[in-house]
C-alpha cells in the first residue's frame, strides 16, 4: 500500500456527530473492514476499561480490540462513544457480573417463601 493510499484511508474517517446526543465522535476504520465510533481525545489506561472494549490504534490509522489480557500496565486505549453517550443505554460491560446478579435474583426468588426464623437461643440461667 502506498503512502497516498494510506492518506486516503485516513481521510475516509474523521470526526462526525453522534446521531443520538449530537456530541462529536471519531469514525475510525477497524481491522475487520468495519467502522467504529470512538470517543474523541480520550485514551484511558487499558486496565481501566472492560475487556473487549479496549480499542488500540494501529500504525496505519485503523483500530482493533486490544487482545492482551491482563493488559499491559502502560497500555492506553480508546473507547467507543456509545459507552460514554448520555443518550444511549449502557451495554453489558461486565457479563459475568450480570450473570451473577441474575443468579442472585433467582436465589432471592427461591427465598420468597422463607422458613420461620429459628427461635432465639435461650441463655442458660446464670448463677
- Report the alpha-carbon distance of residue 23 to residue 41 in Å, rounded: 13
CA distances to 70, 89, 95, 115 from 52, rounded to whole Å, are: 12, 18, 11, 43
Q: Which stretch binds Zn ion (CB under 5 A): 4-12, 17-25, 43-51, 55-63?
A: 17-25
Query: Which residues inside 54-83 make contact with Zn ion, applying CB under 5 A?
Result: none
Smallest distance, Zn ion to C-beta of residue 84, A: 8
Applying CB under 5 A, among 7, 16, 20, 92 the residue interacting with Zn ion is 20
For residue 76, the 8-state DSSP code is: B
Largest CA distance in the chain: 97
Applying CB under 5 A, among 29, 36, 63, 85 the residue interacting with Zn ion is 85
Residue 21 touching Zn ion (CB under 5 A): yes
Name 27's bridge partners. Answer: 14, 37
Residues that bind Zn ion (CB under 5 A): 18, 20-21, 85
Amino acid at each position: 500500500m502506498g503512502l497516498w493510499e494510506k492518506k486516503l484511508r485516513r481521510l475516509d474517517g474523521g470526526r462526525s456527530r453522534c446521531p443520538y446526543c449530537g456530541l462529536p465522535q471519531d469514525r475510525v476504520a477497524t481491522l475487520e473492514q468495519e467502522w467504529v465510533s470512538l470517543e474523541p481525545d480520550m485514551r484511558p489506561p487499558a486496565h481501566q476499561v472492560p475487556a473487549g472494549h479496549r480499542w488500540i490504534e494501529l500504525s496505519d490509522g485503523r483500530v482493533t480490540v486490544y487482545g492482551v489480557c491482563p493488559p499491559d500496565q502502560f497500555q492506553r486505549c480508546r473507547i467507543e462513544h456509545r459507552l460514554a453517550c448520555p443518550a444511549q443505554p449502557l451495554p453489558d460491560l461486565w457479563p459475568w457480573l450480570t450473570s451473577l446478579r441474575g443468579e442472585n435474583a433467582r436465589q432471592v426468588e427461591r427465598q420468597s417463601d422463607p422458613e420461620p426464623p429459628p427461635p432465639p437461643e435461650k441463655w442458660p440461667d446464670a448463677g
